[in-house]
Chain A
Amino acid sequence: MPNTPTKGRLRPQTNTDTEFFWEGTRRHKLLVQSCSACHTIRHPPGPACPHCHSLEWESKELSGRGRLYSYTVVHHPLPPGFEEPVIVAVVELDEGIRMVSNVVDIEADSLKIDEPLQVTFVDQDEGWTAPLFGRM
């Protein structure tokens, strides 16, 4: 995947609420929190279920399929780690949660809102893995 950096991105900061997500991407799995009490999934992760307030949760693997909810092409300033304009996308996963990510291997001019996307994992030299999205 030549057009997406494998080093130099700003690294995610983690804590005990969120580490499981990044552990998952290292294993090329897209995980979200699922409430142990009411089974509602949520993302980004947090300590409590906003629906039933349970603090108990388990991780659940997503299909990795979704669609493009919105996006931008960042031209200036180029973000740390990027050497050319980057597509920053808001992806709505089939399971109903959203993630901010990059769309890779697609020309920006051909992007269409609501088009289907599929997760792809890009390992970073600094020892973490970025979950990105491409065409299915």
Chain B
Amino acid sequence: MPAAFKPQTAIVGIGATEFSKNSGRSELRLALEAVTAALADAAIDPLEVDGLVSFSMDPSDEVAVARNLGVQDLTYFVRTPGGGGGACGTVALASLGIATGMADVVVCYRAMNERSGHRFGQPGAAAAPPQRNPPSRDIDRSWNVPFGMVTAASMTAPVARRYMHQYGATSEDFGLVSVNARNFAATNPAAWFYEKPITLDDHQNSRMIADPLRLLDCCQESDGAVALVVTSLERAKDLPQPPVAILASAQGSGPNSFTVAQPYRENLARAVDVEVIAKQLWAQSGLKPQDMDLANCYDHFTPAVLMQLEGLGFCGLGEAAGFIRDEGIGLDGRLPVNTNGGQIGEAYIHGFNGIAEVVRQLRGTAVNQVPNARHAAVISGIHAVDSGLILGRD
């Protein structure tokens, strides 16, 4: 485990499109809109970009983004596997490229017409016809898709059930995460659910998707794009935006990993991938959970937020429901969580919008501003190939 190290990189620009259910534009165009907005925010000329990072599943190729951006010499391009678990990982990889001298200005992007195009909430990809020489991920999926475990909800639901069984958590405990997200979204004009808060009754009355997950336990499906500009901390000090330093960045995947369902894990109710990340984050940053002023957790489904709070060490195993009720995750709580409304309330951009929100919080420009926020933890994903960041300002 590395000792705490001196931060070398910073996020200096954020950009996004509007978040919608039907963008009406190509995903490459969404990517370009977000990337150019992020560079304008950073006050960096697109000609200075020499690195691009995204997810392996992002449909917009680096060369296509670079070509449209007029990039001359692209010297660093790398992708992270998995789905939303990779969001913080792109920033980690950008930081790595800068720290090793392979690039000076790296832009991370994620652009998707997920709602109007290829909906992750539908069987879609899992229903691909058998191939002659299937890749390992299709072999892995073959142990669950014939039995109807096809969507992310049906993969996460047995985790939620086991969590309830072991720790006594209830559907209402999950519902409080959704109510919190929609409260924050209600005052965030960029959120799809702006001015549309919900009550716990609304959550309890929403229809069952994959028992025990109700509709209002699920994140949205969205069209949109977010981009983040990463450069050296030294350079960042000369730029107009207050630098948001990358104090720690980590990827993580625990033992015996199998798709996002993870049915073969010894304890299904424990976020072991997040624990792998947490160990690195606290060691690298030299900080502790109690030093965090806010957190952004990956809320594709509400139980994931409880398990991430435990995995990060904000509370013990099985204690997150009590933490949420007694300590609070709203603006007046011990740890404000997902202050943009998260993927439940703002939009589902595979975790990228959560990172942008934390940057705004640390700049002091968020709509739901946490007073004097200095340190924040961001986690992407819960069960697969995941990642996390500790971000901070001086």
Q: Which chain A residues have a beta carbon within 8 Å of chain B's beta carbons?
A: 9-15, 17-18, 43-44, 50, 69-82, 86, 88-90, 97-102, 108, 113, 130, 132
Contacts and interface: CB of A to CB of B under 8 A. Distances in A.
A12 B162 contact: no
A10 B210 contact: no
Contact of A70 (B147, B162, B207): B162
Nearest to B134: A13
Contacts of B127: 10, 80
B126 interface: yes
B2 interface: no
A125 to B, nearest CB: 13
Interface size class of B (residues with CB under 8 A): 35 or more
Given A18-B139, A69-B268, A72-B158, A82 B207 contact: no
Interface in B101-159: 121-123, 126-127, 130-131, 133-134, 138-151, 153-154, 157-159
A79 B261 CA distance: 16
A11 B207 CA distance: 29
B148 A79 contact: yes
B270 to A, nearest CB: 13
Contacts of A9: 146-148
Contacts of A11: 130, 146
A100 B139 contact: no
Given A13-B131, A76-B209, A88 B158 contact: yes
B155 to A, nearest CB: 9
Contacts of B142: 12-14, 18
Q: Which 6 A-B pairs have the closest CB atoms?
A: A72-B157, A79-B148, A12-B142, A70-B158, A70-B162, A73-B211
Interface centre among A17, A44, A100, A108 (most CB of B within 10 A): A100
A130 B154 CA distance: 19
Contacts of A18: 139, 142
Contacts of A17: 139
Given A10-B145, A80-B150, A88-B154, 6 more contacts: A13-B134, A17-B139, A72-B157, A74-B157, A75-B210, A79-B150
A32 to B, nearest CB: 12
